[in-house]
Amino acid sequence: MVSYFVYGLFDPRDGALRYVGCHRGVLATRLQSHLADSRKSKIATHKTNWIRKLTQMDLMPIISEIQNFFSKKEMLEAEVYWISFFRSQGCRLTNGTDGGEGVWGHRHSIETRTVLSQKNRIQFSNPENRLRHSVIAKSQWNRPGSRTAQSALKRRQYEKDPGLARRVSEGKRNFYKDHPQACLMRAKPIADQFGNRYESLAVAARKLGLSQGNVSMVLRGIRPHTKGFRFVFAEK
């Protein structure tokens, strides 16, 4: 039966954990893949730079199993958990993402952002490309039930009645002023996968350096995690 692994790459000089990954099959072949990538890859990432530095010193990372599974889904979920856990413990991981499938948490380098910016500038300098993108965007805006369509409807209502926005804002303020308990209901305590408890979404985002919007999406099930952290509402 094929096994799925979450593994770690350790620095042979001091034994520090520097990378957490997942693999299906034999761990020794995964280490050889990392070494080959560091030699052939033209993209300089934190991980490849670290491995290249070791190979220049006639050293190589030490690969070790952290946990094994019998399904890919469990492996991917565990990878996200372990990356988040070891980062919270202060490990200087070279991972470019938060783990799992996809690229959550990935940040492009300044050089990559410059190249992408130049390509976009060239692409949108063509009037035909601008027209095509405009048609696609407007078709999304006018789709019934879309957020952009709802926003456009509100905007048109506010344009017809300039005092509408002020009245709506005042109505909300008066409601929470007359019903202070509703404000407390909005600040629900939450907890992360490590058992840490926070008084509210805003407190968790501030302490962990996360986006409040991303934390909210995790709580609502829109995102699986944000920077490796998973949240649920806790009982008061």
What pLDDT, on the 0 to 100 scale, is given for residue 144? 58
pLDDT number for residue 202: 85
Greatest extent of the chain over all pairs of C-alpha atoms, in Å: 73
Under DSSP, the state recorded for 107 is -
Q: Which pLDDT belongs to residue 147?
A: 57
**Sites in the chain below the pLDDT cut of 50:** 103-104, 182, 184-185
The partner residues of 49 in beta bridges, in order of sequence, read: none
The pLDDT value recorded for residue 149 is 61
Starting from the edge strand earliest in sequence, which strands make up the sheet with 62-69, in order? 17-24, 4-10, 62-69
Q: How many residues does the chain have?
A: 236
CB atoms within 10 A of CB 55: 14
Q: Where are the domains of the chain?
A: 4-88, 111-178, 187-233
Assigned CATH topology for domain 187-233: Arc Repressor Mutant, subunit A (1.10.10)
d(C-alpha 210, C-alpha 100), whole Å: 19
Q: Residue 234 carries which DSSP code?
A: P
In the 8-state DSSP scheme, what is residue 61? P
CA angle 8, 223, 20 (to 5 degrees): 5
Instruction: Give CA–CA dist 134/128, Å, rounded.
Output: 10
What pLDDT was estimated at residue 141? 60
Q: What is the pLDDT of residue 61?
A: 93
Contact 218, 231 (CB under 8 A): yes
Cβ count near 101 (within 10 Å) = 13
Q: In the chain, where does DSSP find H-type helix?
A: 27-40, 46-56, 72-88, 110-124, 127-141, 147-160, 164-178, 180-186, 201-208, 212-219
Q: What is the pTM of this model?
A: 0.49
